Amino acid sequence: MGPITTTHYVALSAALLLIGTIGVLTRRNIVIILMSIELILNAVNINLIAFSHYWQNVNGQIFAIFVITDAVAEAAVGLGILIALFRNKETVLADEVDLLKW
pLDDT digits (tens, 9 = 90+) for 6-40: 999 999 999 999 999 999 999 999 999 999 999 99
| pLDDT tens, position by position, 39-97 | 999 999 999 999 999 999 999 999 999 999 999 999 999 999 999 989 988 888 988 88
73 half-sphere exposure, CB direction, 13 A CA radius: 6
Q: 20 burial class (0-12, 13-18, 19+ CB within 10 angstroms)?
A: buried
Q: What does the domain layout of the chain look like in residue ranges? A: 6-93
Residue 28: CB atoms within 10 A of its CB come to: 12
Identify whether the C-beta of residue 23 lies closer than 8 Å to the C-beta of residue 88.
no
| Residue 6 DSSP code | H
Query: How far apart are alpha carbons 37 and 24 in whole angstroms?
Result: 7
Could you please state the CATH topology (level 3) that the domain comprising 6-93 is classified under: Helix Hairpins (1.10.287)
Q: Which phi and psi angles does 29 have, rounded to 5°?
A: -75, 125
